[in-house]
Amino acid sequence: MSNRQVFILQMLLSALVYSLIANWYIAPALAHLPQLEIFGYLLLPHALRHIGLTAIVPAVVDPNVPKEWSRPVGYGDLLTQVVAMLAILAIRCHWSFAIVMVWIANIVGFGDFVYAGIVATKYKAYNYQLGGFWFLPTFFVPILIVTHFWMFWMLCRR
């Protein structure tokens, strides 16, 4: 298998497992909670997206990785983490604009993934030595994508 095939297969399989976990275990456990509180739980993994900054660390990824890929990935994740934390704070403090913050966090975070995916494909990031960073898009990103879709589904149902 090529690097690209392994990369895509790992992402898809992780997304499948996370989707099953979400549907079989997490959704039933959260079903009794108010919708806004559920958003708080779904935003928690996004509060850890600062880990994406490892894309700009030469000791982790190949120093020859195109900066046109690594910088948007790293700083896009950091921005998403900050917005997710603000949304969680708005939920916890019962601010009137909390649902707006959930929308913003979800749009910013999902937009970051779309852009990162386009740039990763353009620069064939999967062909570089990504070191430990490899596990972020193949293991951590799928749970973020599942929670994004879940939040969009809940937001659009309102």
Q: What's the token pair of residue 44?
A: 């928690």
8-23 pLDDT per residue, tens: 999 999 999 999 999 9
Distances (CA, A) of 3 to 10, 70, 124, 135: 11, 18, 10, 13
Q: For the residues 124-153, what does the mean pLDDT come to?
A: 94
Answer whether residue 135 shows pLDDT above 80: yes
pLDDT at res. 69: 94
55-79 pLDDT per residue, tens: 999 999 999 999 999 999 999 999 9
Domain regions of the chain by residue span = 3-157
- At residue 158 the predicted structure's pLDDT band, cuts being 50, 70 and 90, is confident
21-39 pLDDT per residue, tens: 999 999 999 999 999 999 9
Q: Report residue 61: phi and psi, to 5°.
A: -110, 160
pLDDT at res. 36: 96
HSE, CB side, 13 Å, CA atoms: give it for residue 82: 6
Q: For the residues 90-98, what does the mean pLDDT come to?
A: 98
Both ends of the chain: CA-CA distance in Å? 43
Please name the residue that has the structure tokens 């809940």: 154
Mean pLDDT taken over the chain: 96
Answer whether residue 113 shows pLDDT above 90: yes
pLDDT at res. 57: 94
How far is the C-alpha of 10 from the C-alpha of 6, rounded, in Å?
Answer: 6
- At residue 126 the predicted structure's pLDDT band, cuts being 50, 70 and 90, is confident
Task: Say what the alpha-carbon torsion angle 104, 107, 113, 119 is, to the nearest 10 degrees.
Answer: -100
pLDDT at res. 80: 98
Please name the residue that has the structure tokens 């894309």: 55
pLDDT at res. 24: 98
Residue 16 φ/ψ region, left for φ over 0, alpha for ψ in the -120 to 50 degree band, beta for the rest: alpha
Q: For the residues 114-128, what does the mean pLDDT come to?
A: 93
